Amino acid sequence: MSVFVIMSSLVALIVFGLPIAVALGAMAAGTMVWAAGPDLLVIFIQRFYTGMTSFSLLAIPFFILAGNLMNTGGMTHRIFHTAQVFVGRVRGGLGHVNVVGSMLFSGMSGSAVADSAGLGVVEVKAMRDAGYDPAYAAAITAASSTIGPVVPPSIPFVIYGSLANVSVGALFLAGIMPGLLMGLSMMAVIALTARAKGLPKLAERPGLRESLATIAEALPALAMPLFVVGGLLLGWVTPTEAAVLAAAYAAFIGIVVYGELKVSDLPDVLWTSGRQAAQVLFIMALAAPFSWVLVQQQVPNAVVEALLSVSHEPWAVLLMINAILLILGMFIEGIAVMVICMPMLLPVTQQLGVDPVHFGVIVVLNLMIGLITPPVGLCLYTVSQVANIDLLSIIREVWIYLVGLVVVLLAVTFIPGLVMWVPALFGF
Protein backbone atom coordinates (compact mmCIF):
# COMPACT_ATOMS: atom_id res chain seq x y z
CA MET A 1 0.00 0.00 0.00
CA SER A 2 1.46 3.38 -1.02
CA VAL A 3 2.45 6.21 1.27
CA PHE A 4 -0.23 8.39 -0.29
CA VAL A 5 -3.01 5.85 0.30
CA ILE A 6 -2.05 5.25 3.96
CA MET A 7 -1.64 8.89 4.91
CA SER A 8 -4.59 10.23 2.91
CA SER A 9 -6.84 7.55 4.40
CA LEU A 10 -5.68 8.47 7.91
CA VAL A 11 -6.31 12.17 7.28
CA ALA A 12 -9.74 11.39 5.83
CA LEU A 13 -10.74 9.41 8.93
CA ILE A 14 -9.65 12.28 11.17
CA VAL A 15 -11.42 14.90 9.03
CA PHE A 16 -14.65 12.89 9.15
CA GLY A 17 -14.59 13.11 12.93
CA LEU A 18 -13.10 9.79 14.02
CA PRO A 19 -11.00 10.22 17.20
CA ILE A 20 -7.29 10.32 16.34
CA ALA A 21 -6.46 7.23 18.40
CA VAL A 22 -9.24 5.22 16.76
CA ALA A 23 -8.19 6.42 13.30
CA LEU A 24 -4.62 5.24 13.95
CA GLY A 25 -5.85 1.83 15.12
CA ALA A 26 -8.29 1.45 12.22
CA MET A 27 -5.61 2.22 9.64
CA ALA A 28 -3.14 -0.16 11.31
CA ALA A 29 -5.65 -3.02 11.49
CA GLY A 30 -6.97 -2.37 7.99
CA THR A 31 -3.50 -2.34 6.45
CA MET A 32 -2.52 -5.53 8.27
CA VAL A 33 -5.60 -7.36 7.00
CA TRP A 34 -5.04 -6.02 3.47
CA ALA A 35 -1.36 -7.05 3.49
CA ALA A 36 -1.50 -10.53 5.07
CA GLY A 37 -5.01 -11.37 6.23
CA PRO A 38 -6.58 -11.51 9.71
CA ASP A 39 -3.78 -13.63 11.16
CA LEU A 40 -1.55 -10.57 11.29
CA LEU A 41 -3.88 -8.95 13.82
CA VAL A 42 -2.00 -10.90 16.51
CA ILE A 43 0.83 -8.42 15.98
CA PHE A 44 -1.68 -5.58 16.35
CA ILE A 45 -2.56 -6.80 19.85
CA GLN A 46 1.08 -7.28 20.79
CA ARG A 47 2.03 -3.80 19.59
CA PHE A 48 -0.99 -2.23 21.27
CA TYR A 49 0.11 -3.73 24.58
CA THR A 50 3.78 -2.77 24.26
CA GLY A 51 2.81 0.76 23.11
CA MET A 52 1.60 1.72 26.57
CA THR A 53 3.77 -0.41 28.84
CA SER A 54 7.03 1.51 28.49
CA PHE A 55 8.36 2.38 31.94
CA SER A 56 9.13 5.97 30.88
CA LEU A 57 5.49 6.55 29.91
CA LEU A 58 4.49 6.12 33.55
CA ALA A 59 5.81 9.66 34.03
CA ILE A 60 2.90 11.09 32.03
CA PRO A 61 0.00 10.44 34.44
CA PHE A 62 2.08 11.59 37.41
CA PHE A 63 3.15 14.88 35.78
CA ILE A 64 -0.49 15.48 34.83
CA LEU A 65 -1.52 14.74 38.42
CA ALA A 66 1.18 17.10 39.73
CA GLY A 67 -0.15 19.94 37.57
CA ASN A 68 -3.72 19.41 38.72
CA LEU A 69 -2.66 19.22 42.38
CA MET A 70 -0.78 22.49 41.99
CA ASN A 71 -3.81 24.23 40.53
CA THR A 72 -6.07 22.97 43.31
CA GLY A 73 -3.60 23.32 46.18
CA GLY A 74 -2.80 27.03 46.04
CA MET A 75 0.63 26.85 44.40
CA THR A 76 -0.51 28.53 41.19
CA HIS A 77 -1.50 31.97 42.45
CA ARG A 78 1.54 32.14 44.75
CA ILE A 79 3.80 31.62 41.73
CA PHE A 80 1.98 34.46 39.96
CA HIS A 81 2.39 36.86 42.89
CA THR A 82 6.09 36.03 43.15
CA ALA A 83 6.62 36.79 39.47
CA GLN A 84 4.84 40.09 40.07
CA VAL A 85 7.42 41.04 42.70
CA PHE A 86 10.27 40.68 40.19
CA VAL A 87 8.88 42.05 36.92
CA GLY A 88 5.59 43.75 37.73
CA ARG A 89 6.79 47.33 38.22
CA VAL A 90 7.21 48.52 34.62
CA ARG A 91 4.75 49.54 31.93
CA GLY A 92 2.98 46.40 30.81
CA GLY A 93 4.40 44.74 33.91
CA LEU A 94 1.59 42.22 34.31
CA GLY A 95 2.34 40.99 30.80
CA HIS A 96 5.91 40.25 31.90
CA VAL A 97 4.53 38.69 35.09
CA ASN A 98 2.36 36.45 32.92
CA VAL A 99 5.39 35.18 31.01
CA VAL A 100 7.68 34.76 34.04
CA GLY A 101 4.87 33.06 35.95
CA SER A 102 4.48 30.56 33.13
CA MET A 103 8.22 29.93 33.07
CA LEU A 104 8.18 29.19 36.80
CA PHE A 105 5.05 27.04 36.55
CA SER A 106 6.47 25.13 33.58
CA GLY A 107 9.34 23.95 35.73
CA MET A 108 6.81 21.95 37.73
CA SER A 109 3.90 20.71 35.60
CA GLY A 110 5.33 20.10 32.11
CA SER A 111 1.92 20.73 30.52
CA ALA A 112 0.81 23.70 28.42
CA VAL A 113 -2.86 22.98 29.02
CA ALA A 114 -2.31 22.80 32.81
CA ASP A 115 -0.61 26.20 32.59
CA SER A 116 -3.31 27.85 30.46
CA ALA A 117 -6.18 26.35 32.47
CA GLY A 118 -4.73 26.81 35.96
CA LEU A 119 -2.35 29.76 35.99
CA GLY A 120 -4.29 31.30 33.09
CA VAL A 121 -7.36 31.97 35.23
CA VAL A 122 -5.27 33.91 37.76
CA GLU A 123 -3.34 35.81 35.08
CA VAL A 124 -6.27 36.92 32.96
CA LYS A 125 -8.29 38.05 35.99
CA ALA A 126 -5.37 40.09 37.39
CA MET A 127 -4.72 41.74 34.03
CA ARG A 128 -8.41 42.51 33.53
CA ASP A 129 -8.64 44.10 36.97
CA ALA A 130 -5.57 46.24 36.18
CA GLY A 131 -7.17 47.65 33.02
CA TYR A 132 -5.69 45.42 30.32
CA ASP A 133 -7.74 44.52 27.27
CA PRO A 134 -9.16 41.02 28.00
CA ALA A 135 -8.24 39.67 24.56
CA TYR A 136 -4.67 40.95 24.92
CA ALA A 137 -4.40 39.35 28.36
CA ALA A 138 -5.76 36.06 27.02
CA ALA A 139 -3.36 36.11 24.06
CA ILE A 140 -0.31 36.55 26.31
CA THR A 141 -1.61 33.77 28.57
CA ALA A 142 -2.07 31.35 25.67
CA ALA A 143 1.32 32.19 24.17
CA SER A 144 3.25 31.95 27.45
CA SER A 145 1.67 28.58 28.26
CA THR A 146 3.61 27.05 25.34
CA ILE A 147 6.78 27.40 27.41
CA GLY A 148 5.54 24.69 29.78
CA PRO A 149 6.40 21.60 27.73
CA VAL A 150 9.83 22.96 26.70
CA VAL A 151 11.28 23.89 30.10
CA PRO A 152 11.79 20.66 32.11
CA PRO A 153 9.94 18.61 33.14
CA SER A 154 8.02 17.99 29.93
CA ILE A 155 5.36 15.48 28.98
CA PRO A 156 6.07 15.77 25.21
CA PHE A 157 9.77 15.11 25.86
CA VAL A 158 8.83 11.93 27.73
CA ILE A 159 6.77 10.80 24.73
CA TYR A 160 9.48 11.71 22.22
CA GLY A 161 12.11 9.94 24.31
CA SER A 162 9.98 6.79 24.26
CA LEU A 163 9.41 6.99 20.50
CA ALA A 164 13.00 7.82 19.58
CA ASN A 165 14.73 5.77 22.30
CA VAL A 166 16.50 8.89 23.57
CA SER A 167 17.45 9.82 27.14
CA VAL A 168 14.60 11.79 28.69
CA GLY A 169 17.07 13.42 31.08
CA ALA A 170 19.09 14.76 28.13
CA LEU A 171 15.90 16.10 26.52
CA PHE A 172 14.91 17.84 29.75
CA LEU A 173 18.29 19.59 29.89
CA ALA A 174 18.15 20.46 26.20
CA GLY A 175 14.87 22.30 26.72
CA ILE A 176 16.24 24.81 29.25
CA MET A 177 17.80 27.33 26.84
CA PRO A 178 15.02 27.20 24.21
CA GLY A 179 12.43 27.67 26.98
CA LEU A 180 14.28 30.75 28.26
CA LEU A 181 14.52 32.11 24.72
CA MET A 182 10.77 31.64 24.26
CA GLY A 183 10.10 33.64 27.41
CA LEU A 184 12.56 36.39 26.46
CA SER A 185 11.06 36.70 22.98
CA MET A 186 7.59 37.25 24.45
CA MET A 187 8.88 39.75 26.99
CA ALA A 188 10.64 41.62 24.18
CA VAL A 189 7.37 41.85 22.25
CA ILE A 190 5.57 43.15 25.36
CA ALA A 191 8.29 45.76 25.99
CA LEU A 192 8.22 46.95 22.35
CA THR A 193 4.44 47.27 22.21
CA ALA A 194 3.70 48.45 25.78
CA ARG A 195 3.71 52.19 25.09
CA ALA A 196 1.93 51.91 21.73
CA LYS A 197 -0.87 49.89 23.31
CA GLY A 198 -1.00 52.13 26.36
CA LEU A 199 -0.43 49.26 28.76
CA PRO A 200 -0.84 50.29 32.41
CA LYS A 201 1.70 50.24 35.21
CA LEU A 202 1.02 48.83 38.65
CA ALA A 203 -0.83 51.38 40.78
CA GLU A 204 1.39 50.70 43.77
CA ARG A 205 4.83 49.25 44.20
CA PRO A 206 4.94 46.59 46.89
CA GLY A 207 7.33 47.44 49.69
CA LEU A 208 10.40 45.41 50.55
CA ARG A 209 8.73 43.70 53.50
CA GLU A 210 5.66 42.79 51.46
CA SER A 211 7.82 41.52 48.60
CA LEU A 212 9.90 39.34 50.90
CA ALA A 213 6.76 37.97 52.52
CA THR A 214 5.33 37.08 49.09
CA ILE A 215 8.52 35.31 48.04
CA ALA A 216 8.77 33.46 51.36
CA GLU A 217 5.20 32.23 51.04
CA ALA A 218 5.92 30.90 47.56
CA LEU A 219 9.23 29.22 48.41
CA PRO A 220 7.71 25.77 49.02
CA ALA A 221 6.14 25.94 45.55
CA LEU A 222 9.29 27.35 43.93
CA ALA A 223 11.41 24.59 45.48
CA MET A 224 9.61 21.95 43.46
CA PRO A 225 11.97 22.11 40.42
CA LEU A 226 14.90 21.46 42.75
CA PHE A 227 13.40 18.10 43.65
CA VAL A 228 12.28 17.21 40.12
CA VAL A 229 15.11 18.44 37.88
CA GLY A 230 17.78 18.36 40.58
CA GLY A 231 17.02 14.73 41.37
CA LEU A 232 17.37 13.87 37.70
CA LEU A 233 20.66 15.71 37.25
CA LEU A 234 22.17 14.10 40.35
CA GLY A 235 21.06 10.65 39.20
CA TRP A 236 18.93 10.07 42.27
CA VAL A 237 15.72 9.45 40.34
CA THR A 238 14.59 8.40 36.87
CA PRO A 239 12.14 10.64 34.94
CA THR A 240 9.28 8.38 36.05
CA GLU A 241 10.35 8.54 39.69
CA ALA A 242 10.74 12.32 39.34
CA ALA A 243 7.12 12.54 38.17
CA VAL A 244 5.96 10.53 41.18
CA LEU A 245 8.04 12.78 43.43
CA ALA A 246 6.49 15.88 41.83
CA ALA A 247 2.95 14.62 42.43
CA ALA A 248 3.70 13.63 46.03
CA TYR A 249 5.39 16.96 46.72
CA ALA A 250 2.49 18.94 45.21
CA ALA A 251 0.02 17.00 47.37
CA PHE A 252 2.10 17.55 50.52
CA ILE A 253 2.45 21.30 49.91
CA GLY A 254 -1.22 21.72 49.05
CA ILE A 255 -2.51 19.75 52.06
CA VAL A 256 0.05 20.34 54.82
CA VAL A 257 1.83 23.62 54.04
CA TYR A 258 -0.83 25.76 52.36
CA GLY A 259 -3.89 23.91 53.60
CA GLU A 260 -5.86 24.73 50.44
CA LEU A 261 -6.00 21.17 49.12
CA LYS A 262 -8.62 19.20 51.03
CA VAL A 263 -8.83 15.44 51.19
CA SER A 264 -12.35 15.82 49.78
CA ASP A 265 -10.78 17.43 46.65
CA LEU A 266 -8.62 14.40 45.86
CA PRO A 267 -11.27 12.22 44.17
CA ASP A 268 -12.04 14.96 41.62
CA VAL A 269 -8.35 15.68 41.06
CA LEU A 270 -7.54 11.98 40.59
CA TRP A 271 -10.50 11.47 38.25
CA THR A 272 -9.56 14.47 36.10
CA SER A 273 -5.90 13.43 35.97
CA GLY A 274 -6.78 9.81 35.17
CA ARG A 275 -9.05 10.87 32.32
CA GLN A 276 -6.40 13.18 30.83
CA ALA A 277 -3.68 10.54 31.16
CA ALA A 278 -5.90 7.87 29.57
CA GLN A 279 -6.45 10.06 26.52
CA VAL A 280 -2.70 10.44 25.99
CA LEU A 281 -1.82 6.79 26.65
CA PHE A 282 -4.63 5.50 24.42
CA ILE A 283 -3.12 7.47 21.53
CA MET A 284 0.32 6.05 22.35
CA ALA A 285 -1.05 2.49 22.52
CA LEU A 286 -2.71 2.65 19.09
CA ALA A 287 0.19 4.56 17.57
CA ALA A 288 2.46 1.56 18.18
CA PRO A 289 0.77 -0.84 15.69
CA PHE A 290 0.42 2.07 13.24
CA SER A 291 4.18 2.73 13.46
CA TRP A 292 4.85 -0.99 12.86
CA VAL A 293 2.68 -0.87 9.74
CA LEU A 294 4.54 2.20 8.44
CA VAL A 295 7.88 0.42 8.82
CA GLN A 296 6.59 -2.77 7.17
CA GLN A 297 5.19 -0.80 4.24
CA GLN A 298 8.52 1.05 3.94
CA VAL A 299 6.85 4.41 4.36
CA PRO A 300 9.87 5.93 6.22
CA ASN A 301 12.13 4.96 3.32
CA ALA A 302 9.80 6.66 0.85
CA VAL A 303 9.71 9.82 2.97
CA VAL A 304 13.52 9.85 3.25
CA GLU A 305 13.87 9.52 -0.51
CA ALA A 306 11.26 12.22 -1.16
CA LEU A 307 12.85 14.78 1.15
CA LEU A 308 16.41 14.04 0.06
CA SER A 309 15.39 14.23 -3.59
CA VAL A 310 14.68 17.92 -2.98
CA SER A 311 17.96 18.61 -1.21
CA HIS A 312 20.73 16.83 0.66
CA GLU A 313 21.57 19.95 2.65
CA PRO A 314 20.64 19.46 6.33
CA TRP A 315 19.45 23.09 6.67
CA ALA A 316 17.05 22.73 3.73
CA VAL A 317 15.61 19.41 4.94
CA LEU A 318 15.17 20.76 8.49
CA LEU A 319 13.41 23.80 7.06
CA MET A 320 11.02 21.51 5.16
CA ILE A 321 10.42 19.41 8.29
CA ASN A 322 9.65 22.56 10.27
CA ALA A 323 7.14 23.62 7.63
CA ILE A 324 5.49 20.18 7.67
CA LEU A 325 5.22 20.10 11.47
CA LEU A 326 3.90 23.67 11.68
CA ILE A 327 1.19 22.94 9.11
CA LEU A 328 0.20 19.66 10.75
CA GLY A 329 0.17 21.36 14.15
CA MET A 330 -2.46 23.78 12.87
CA PHE A 331 -4.92 20.93 12.32
CA ILE A 332 -3.91 17.97 14.52
CA GLU A 333 -3.21 17.71 18.26
CA GLY A 334 0.52 17.77 19.03
CA ILE A 335 0.97 14.32 20.54
CA ALA A 336 -0.84 12.77 17.58
CA VAL A 337 1.47 14.61 15.17
CA MET A 338 4.47 13.29 17.07
CA VAL A 339 3.42 9.64 17.08
CA ILE A 340 2.39 9.77 13.43
CA CYS A 341 5.45 11.57 12.08
CA MET A 342 8.38 10.36 14.15
CA PRO A 343 8.68 6.92 12.49
CA MET A 344 8.97 8.76 9.16
CA LEU A 345 11.06 11.79 10.08
CA LEU A 346 13.61 10.24 12.46
CA PRO A 347 15.28 8.16 9.69
CA VAL A 348 15.64 11.35 7.63
CA THR A 349 17.41 13.24 10.41
CA GLN A 350 19.56 10.23 11.28
CA GLN A 351 20.78 10.04 7.69
CA LEU A 352 21.64 13.74 7.83
CA GLY A 353 23.52 13.32 11.12
CA VAL A 354 21.17 15.49 13.20
CA ASP A 355 21.45 14.69 16.91
CA PRO A 356 18.18 13.07 18.07
CA VAL A 357 18.14 15.24 21.22
CA HIS A 358 18.45 18.39 19.11
CA PHE A 359 15.72 17.13 16.80
CA GLY A 360 13.47 16.35 19.75
CA VAL A 361 13.59 19.99 20.87
CA ILE A 362 12.83 21.14 17.31
CA VAL A 363 9.81 18.82 17.16
CA VAL A 364 8.40 19.85 20.54
CA LEU A 365 8.88 23.56 19.83
CA ASN A 366 7.02 23.16 16.53
CA LEU A 367 4.15 21.41 18.26
CA MET A 368 3.98 24.05 21.00
CA ILE A 369 3.56 26.72 18.33
CA GLY A 370 0.71 24.60 17.01
CA LEU A 371 -1.07 25.01 20.36
CA ILE A 372 -1.72 28.69 19.57
CA THR A 373 -2.31 28.50 15.81
CA PRO A 374 -5.89 28.28 14.54
CA PRO A 375 -7.99 26.42 13.64
CA VAL A 376 -7.00 23.73 16.19
CA GLY A 377 -5.03 25.67 18.80
CA LEU A 378 -5.75 23.81 22.02
CA CYS A 379 -4.40 26.53 24.31
CA LEU A 380 -6.42 29.18 22.47
CA TYR A 381 -9.60 27.21 23.13
CA THR A 382 -8.62 26.52 26.74
CA VAL A 383 -7.95 30.17 27.57
CA SER A 384 -11.08 31.25 25.68
CA GLN A 385 -13.19 28.90 27.80
CA VAL A 386 -11.67 29.49 31.23
CA ALA A 387 -11.57 33.28 30.77
CA ASN A 388 -14.86 33.54 28.83
CA ILE A 389 -13.29 35.59 26.01
CA ASP A 390 -14.20 35.42 22.32
CA LEU A 391 -11.80 33.13 20.43
CA LEU A 392 -11.46 35.36 17.35
CA SER A 393 -10.43 38.36 19.44
CA ILE A 394 -7.66 36.26 21.04
CA ILE A 395 -6.44 35.11 17.62
CA ARG A 396 -6.17 38.73 16.44
CA GLU A 397 -3.86 39.52 19.36
CA VAL A 398 -1.71 36.37 19.43
CA TRP A 399 -0.10 36.60 15.98
CA ILE A 400 2.80 38.83 17.09
CA TYR A 401 3.83 36.24 19.69
CA LEU A 402 3.74 33.60 16.97
CA VAL A 403 6.30 35.64 15.04
CA GLY A 404 8.59 35.72 18.06
CA LEU A 405 8.22 31.97 18.62
CA VAL A 406 9.01 31.20 14.97
CA VAL A 407 12.20 33.28 15.26
CA VAL A 408 13.20 31.21 18.30
CA LEU A 409 12.36 28.01 16.39
CA LEU A 410 14.65 29.01 13.51
CA ALA A 411 17.45 29.90 15.93
CA VAL A 412 17.10 26.58 17.74
CA THR A 413 17.00 24.70 14.41
CA PHE A 414 20.10 26.24 12.87
CA ILE A 415 22.22 26.89 15.98
CA PRO A 416 22.45 23.45 17.64
CA GLY A 417 24.64 24.83 20.40
CA LEU A 418 21.63 26.64 21.88
CA VAL A 419 20.13 23.22 22.56
CA MET A 420 23.09 20.97 23.17
CA TRP A 421 25.46 22.94 25.38
CA VAL A 422 23.50 22.36 28.63
CA PRO A 423 23.26 18.55 28.12
CA ALA A 424 26.97 18.57 27.26
CA LEU A 425 27.74 20.24 30.60
CA PHE A 426 26.23 17.23 32.34
CA GLY A 427 27.94 14.62 30.20
CA PHE A 428 25.21 13.85 27.65
311: pLDDT strictly greater than 80: no
What residue numbers bound the domain in which 224 lies? 13-425
Q: What mean pLDDT comes out for the span 338-355?
A: 85
Considering the domain boundaries, does residue 189 fall inside one? yes
Q: Specify the 3-state DSSP secondary structure of 28.
A: helix
pLDDT on residue 366: 92
Considering the domain boundaries, does residue 75 fall inside one? yes
pLDDT on residue 379: 77
pLDDT on residue 235: 74
pLDDT on residue 415: 92
Considering the domain boundaries, does residue 1 fall inside one? no
Considering the domain boundaries, does residue 96 fall inside one? yes
pLDDT on residue 88: 61
DSSP state of 175: T
Considering the domain boundaries, does residue 213 fall inside one? yes
Q: Specify the 3-state DSSP secondary structure of 151.
A: coil
Condensed to tens digits (0 to 9), the pLDDT of residues 316-335 reads: 889 989 988 888 777 677 77
Label residue 364 by pLDDT band (50, 70, 90). very high
Name the percent of the chain lying above pLDDT 70: 89
Cα 225-268-228 angle, rounded to 5 deg: 10
Condensed to tens digits (0 to 9), the pLDDT of residues 90-132 reads: 777 778 888 887 777 665 555 666 666 666 667 777 777 777 8
Condensed to tens digits (0 to 9), the pLDDT of residues 123-171 reads: 777 777 777 888 888 888 888 888 878 887 778 888 898 888 888 888 9
pLDDT on residue 5: 76
Q: What mean pLDDT comes out for the span 414-418?
A: 91
- For every residue of 281-327, DSSP letters joined together read HHHHHHHHHHHHHHHHTTHHHHHHHHHHHH---HHHHHHHHHHHHHH
pLDDT on residue 57: 73
More confident residue, 201 or 59: 59
| Global confidence as pTM | 0.78
349: CB partners within 8 A, 6+ apart: 317, 318, 321, 356, 359
Cα 89-91-95 angle, rounded to 5 deg: 85
Name the percent of the chain lying above pLDDT 90: 10
Q: Specify the 3-state DSSP secondary structure of 226.
A: helix
Phi then psi for 202, rounded to 5 degrees? -65, 140
255: pLDDT strictly greater than 80: yes
Helix residue ranges per DSSP H, 297-415: 299-310, 314-331, 334-352, 356-370, 378-387, 391-414
Considering the domain boundaries, does residue 184 fall inside one? yes
Label residue 407 by pLDDT band (50, 70, 90). very high
51: pLDDT strictly greater than 90: no
More confident residue, 294 or 321: 321
Is the CB of residue 397 less than 8 Å from the CB of residue 139?
yes
Considering the domain boundaries, does residue 6 fall inside one? no
Label residue 174 by pLDDT band (50, 70, 90). very high
19: pLDDT strictly greater than 80: no
More confident residue, 395 or 56: 395
**Structural domains counted in the chain:** 1
pLDDT on residue 46: 83
pLDDT on residue 365: 93
Label residue 77 by pLDDT band (50, 70, 90). confident
pLDDT on residue 124: 78
Distance (Å) of CA 250 to CA 42, 127, 149, 224, 273? 42, 26, 18, 8, 14
pLDDT on residue 31: 83
Label residue 177 by pLDDT band (50, 70, 90). very high
pLDDT on residue 356: 93
More confident residue, 165 or 303: 165
Q: What is the mean pLDDT of the chain?
A: 80
Give me the sign of the Cα torsion angle 421, 107, 152, 91: negative
Q: What mean pLDDT comes out for the span 63-82?
A: 78
Considering the domain boundaries, does residue 31 fall inside one? yes
pLDDT on residue 107: 55
